[in-house]
Amino acid sequence: MSRNPDRETRVRVGQTLIAIEAPDARLARRLRDHFHVPPFEGSPDMVVKLSLRRSGADGIVDSLFEQKNVDGEFFQIGGGIVQGCYRREKGEADVQVDERLLSGRLIRVFEQLLYQVFFSDPRNRDGKTLLLHSSGVLHGRSGYLFTGSSGAGKSTVAALSSRDTVLNDEICLVRFQGSETILESTPFNGFFRRKSEGSAPLKCVFLLCQAKNHSVRSMGRVEAVSALLPQVVPAIGMDERITRDTLELMLDLAAELQRRVPIRRLEFAHDAGFWKKIEEMGDVQEHGGEA
Amino acid sequence: MIGRSAVPTPATSLVARKIGEETILVNEKGDMLHTLNETGSFIWENIDGKRSIGDILALMREEFELPDEGPEVDVSRFIEELADKGIVNIGP
């Protein structure tokens, strides 16, 4: 089937190339501007055909992972603000989206649908791939992740890392590749827009806490896994809901990340001096993750 | 306080993972997190809907070389707290 490139936006998340077909060229341009993506060649792995509607929902939920009903290949989220049909064998979905979800800050909620498109690709369900709510920065030749709940300072860290390569301040991709753990950029958007594509071996993960002074401290294994778990994006496809198996996988991924990479608590003030604290951590270079 | 003949059962809505000697418990919504230390983990692992509190206490005495006095109250209280949090259910 031929597609109209004027109405298409392509985003690459890891090894998955997602084509989003908009109902008109104007929306397609808005999506391309939002994701700030270059034109991609080659066949997409997943195709999402969008159409807009005005649902009857009073408000827009802030999570597309909850309030989700699934019936075979059909799914409905948040009382109908997103609904559609995913044909798994073809890697194609027809999705009707409440038009409010594609404007202003709510487009960041729309992005959560693309997390599910990413996990609809079976290659990303290998137990070695996770999306993490985090800020990712390449400092020197190493990758560093900064994570924490909303308001913890992920975007602030990105803004304070102008001398480095900021991959993202919202969602980063982590892959377990043999003995290495790789940090990769994604096209998703937080508040920091000057993000770059790239990847590097992941050296350390920092749990963020804003404070008056910079300090770094170790974390116990359970403390670290407990803190990581809420930041792991549930690995479910468009035609799936969060189940017990999903939670078990999220726990396994958080535990595996803690096993592989040092997890530290970073208290940081509003200046870039925290990088000096990180550089002073000699053990980050030498030791693995397990305490 | 619950008696030693009571039989606790793990809540089916929880997912548990052992990390080292400790245990993380998460509910199905993913929004309730409990952590158990080494002793708590041992008690949790022996809550199976069949063993009574007295049975669990006997296993603990053997595993941790506990004295005869004291631990029964602590174990019962601990399991009561787990029940209050919805982590276990208490049978007769």
Confidence tier at A149 by pLDDT (50, 70, 90): confident
Q: Would you say residue A287 has pLDDT above 50? A: no
Which of B13, B15, B38 has the highest number of chain A CBs within 10 A, making it the mutation to test binding with A? B15
pLDDT digits (tens, 9 = 90+) for B1-59: 788 899 999 998 889 999 999 999 998 777 777 899 999 999 999 999 999 999 999 99
The residue in chain B having the minimum alpha-carbon distance to the alpha carbon of residue A243 is B28
| pLDDT over threshold 90, residue B61 | no
Q: Name the residue facing A251 among B20, B26, B35 (closest C-beta).
A: B26
pLDDT of A15 higher than 90? yes
pLDDT tens-digit series, residues A124-142: 999 999 999 999 999 989 9
**Which residue of chain B is at minimal alpha-carbon distance from A250?**
B30
B contact test, residue of A62, A246, A247 with most B CBs within 10 A:
A247
User: Computed over its alpha carbons, how large is the radius of gyration of chain B?
Assistant: 13
Q: How confident is the model at residue A285 (pLDDT cuts 50, 70, 90)?
A: very low
| Whole-number pLDDT of residue A288 | 40
For chain A, the C-alpha Rg in angstroms (whole number) is 19
- Chain A / chain B CB contacts < 8 angstroms: 44
pLDDT in tens, A37-51: 877 778 999 999 999
Phi/psi of residue A48, nearest 5 degrees: -120, 115
Q: Kindly report the nearest CA distance between residue B19 and chain A, in angstroms.
A: 6
From residue A3, give the alpha-carbon distance in Å to each of A6, A11, A149, A235.
9, 16, 40, 29
Nearest to B15 among A221, A222, A244 (CB): A244
Pairing relation of β-strands A165-168 and A46-53?
A: unpaired
What was the pLDDT predicted at A62? 86
Confidence of residue A290 (pLDDT cuts 50, 70, 90): very low
pLDDT confidence tier of residue B69, bands split at 50, 70 and 90: low
Alpha-carbon torsion (B63, B69, B74, B76), positive or negative: positive
Minimum-distance CB partner of A226 among B15, B28, B35: B35
Q: What is the pLDDT of residue A216?
A: 94
Asked if the Cβ–Cβ distance from B22 to A221 is below 8 Å, we say yes
Query: What pLDDT, on the 0 to 100 scale, is given for residue B68?
Result: 67
Q: What is the pLDDT of residues A79-138, one digit of tens each?
A: 899 999 999 999 999 999 999 999 888 888 999 999 999 999 999 999 999 999 999 999
Interface test with B, best of A251, A252, A259 (most B CBs within 10 A): A251
DSSP secondary-structure letter at A265?
Answer: E
How far apart (Å, rounded) are the C-alpha atoms in residues A147 and A131?
Answer: 12
pLDDT in the model for residue B50: 95
CB distance A221–B33 less than 8 Å?
no
Q: Report the number of secondary-structure helices (H) and strands (E) in chain B.
A: 3, 5
> pTM of the predicted model, to two decimals?
0.90
Q: How far is Cα A217 from Cα A262, in angstroms, rounded to an integer?
A: 11
Check A222 against B35: CB less than 8 A apart: yes
Res A267: pLDDT: 93
Mean pLDDT of B67-80: 79
d(CA A152, CA A159): 14
* pLDDT given at position A245: 92
Interface contact A229-B33, CB threshold 8 A: yes
CA distance A144 to A168: 11
**B31: closest CA of chain A, how far (Å):** 8
A2, pLDDT greater than 80: no
